[in-house]
Structure 1
């Protein structure tokens, strides 16, 4: 089974915010493949499972807040015996412009607290990621930026990035090597 974890913050006040980019990508996959509603798991997450192009897939959204994402991801990886090659984390990235998608097979957190938490709990930096750019704030604080919504001008670029991230995930689900996908999508 492949597991795709979208990072974000729980609660309606965070819906459609930049920091919920990971949630939005997995929500789109769930809608496009008619996987149904996300249900609560005992591992501090909501998830939906199904078959996408012949491959069993679990889409996950931690119900911890972003900074504690590892608290959900670690137990899920253990419980479902997920090989790290079969795990992808989808997250927002301040260091990339809105509309940019980047795949990585390993690396540091880049200052992303959700990734820091996952790295700490898994004990490794070696797991696949799909990063979606949300850009640095032009004005105000980083916190207000990541917890803010995309502007009317940014939204079309962001929607295109969600679609591109979804295509990359579909290619991975279909058996494409993640490292090779980096060349195609980065």
Structure 2
């Protein structure tokens, strides 16, 4: 069983913000397959579906970003999901808007949702897809920037990065090794 987790904040107020791009990738995967999040437990909304030959859990933690690990760990434990079968998707200030980067491990890079995930999983070694949101070009505080919406000029790049991240997830779930998926989507 695989588990794909999109990080974000719950509620309409945050729905289209930069910090919620992980949720947007989950939404894209669900939309492609006409699925919906139909379960609420473990401080998260999720769906369990058959995709290819595997069961896949799609999770959106509802704990707010900074406590994401409080949702991921209990769900993994309950469903006996192995760490190597978890993929976490989130925003990254250090990548330009529209770029994605896949990694098998890494630090939190100042991202509190990833910090919480590392703390609750007890390791930095889990698969991840980082979607670039760029850095503020003005003196706007980072918290206001990540909780702001993408400007119209970036929308096309954002849509492409979401689709690429969803394609990468599907490739991995269908059996392509994560290293091969990284090689394809990190170019």
**Is TM (by shorter chain) over 0.5?**
yes
Which residue of 2 is the match for residue 144 of structure 1? 144
User: SS state of the match for residue 36, structure 1?
Assistant: coil
Distance, in Å, in 1 between the alignment partners of 2:105 and 2:132 is 17
Distance, in Å, in 1 between the alignment partners of 2:180 and 2:36 is 31
Q: Which moved more, 1:5-14 or 1:173-182?
A: 173-182
Distance, in Å, in 1 between the alignment partners of 2:117 and 2:12 is 24
Report the alpha carbon displacement of residue 66 of structure 1 after superposing the two structures with TM: 0.2
Report the alpha carbon displacement of residue 158 of structure 1 after superposing the two structures with TM: 0.3
Which residue of 1 is the match for residue 181 of structure 2? 181
Which residue of 2 is the match for residue 162 of structure 1? 162
User: SS state of the match for residue 91, structure 2?
Assistant: strand
Name structure 2 gaps, 5 residues minimum.
none
- Per the normalisation by structure 1, the TM-score is 0.97
Report the alpha carbon displacement of residue 95 of structure 1 after superposing the two structures with TM: 0.3
Q: Is the 8 A contact 1:2 1:56 kept in 2?
A: yes
Distance, in Å, in 2 between the alignment partners of 1:149 and 1:53 is 34
Per-residue deviation, residues 121-168 of structure 1 (Å, max 9, x unmatched): 111001000110000011211111100000111000000000000110
Matched, 1:13 2:13: yes
Distance, in Å, in 2 between the alignment partners of 1:159 and 1:26 is 13
Which residue of 2 is the match for residue 87 of structure 1? 86
Runs (4 or more) in structure 1 with deviation over 6 Å come to none
Equivalent pairs counted in the alignment come to 185
Distance, in Å, in 2 between the alignment partners of 1:22 and 1:36 is 16
Report the alpha carbon displacement of residue 40 of structure 1 after superposing the two structures with TM: 1.0
Distance, in Å, in 1 between the alignment partners of 2:178 and 2:83 is 12
RMSD (CA atoms): 0.9
Report the alpha carbon displacement of residue 49 of structure 1 after superposing the two structures with TM: 1.5
Report the alpha carbon displacement of residue 63 of structure 1 after superposing the two structures with TM: 0.6
Q: Is the 8 A contact 1:18 1:92 kept in 2?
A: yes
Q: Is the 8 A contact 1:33 1:52 kept in 2?
A: no
User: SS state of the match for residue 124, structure 2?
Assistant: coil
Alignment of 1:20-35 (within 5 A): 20-35=20-35
Report the alpha carbon displacement of residue 84 of structure 1 after superposing the two structures with TM: 1.1
- Per the normalisation by structure 2, the TM-score is 0.96
